[in-house]
Structure 1
Amino acid sequence: MQVRIGVRNVPRELVVDTAQSADDVQHALADALAAERGVFVLQDRRAGRIVIPAAQVGYLEITEDEQRNVGFGTQYT
């Protein structure tokens, strides 16, 4: 799944490709926001880690992976 993160005072958003579920991402942010000086951590698919102070997160946009259909079409003339 793809997660877009808007960080306050940063003009570009961060785009993270993660294997975590949408619920896991949402709960991780909620837990980080609940903690004093909480840190939001996401694991990307390449075994990397994104770490952001939770108070600086402006928004999250979570997009499920789309399954692409691959097939062969017949063209009628």
Structure 2
Amino acid sequence: MEVKIGVQHASREIVLESGQSAEEVERVVSEALTGKAELLSLVDEHGRKVFVAADRVAYVELGEPTTRKVGFGAP
């Protein structure tokens, strides 16, 4: 699943492909935004962890997983 995180006072958003389910990502984001957690913590598909201070999160956008195209065929 593609996750985009907008961070306050940062010129670029954080984009990662997460192996977590949409429900799990939504739960983690909700906990961070409601104050239950001080950090928004997600894991990308390579096992790397991304941490963002919960009070700096501007927005989170969840999208469908991107598929890699192989070959030279028509799109």
- Which residue number in structure 2 is paired with residue 52 of structure 1? 52
Larger Rg: 1
AA paired with 2:54?
A: A
Q: Kindly tell me the number of residue pairs found equivalent between the two proteins.
A: 71
- Which residue number in structure 2 is paired with residue 22 of structure 1? 22
Q: Map 1:1-77 onto structure 2 (within 5 A).
A: 1-35=1-35, 38-65=38-65
TM-score, normalised with respect to structure 1: 0.78
1:12–1:64 CA distance, 2 compared to 1 (3 A): same
TM-score, normalised with respect to structure 2: 0.80
Over the matched positions of the two proteins, sequence identity in percent amounts to: 33
Equivalent pair of 2:31/2:37 in contact (CA under 8 Å):
no
Residue 62 of structure 1: CA displacement? 0.6
Listed as ranges, the gaps of 5+ residues in structure 1 are 71-77
Residue 10 of structure 1: CA displacement? 0.3
Two-structure CA RMSD over aligned residues (Å): 2.2
- Provide the secondary structure at the position in 2 that maps to 1:29: helix
Regions of 4+ moved over 2 Å? 33-37
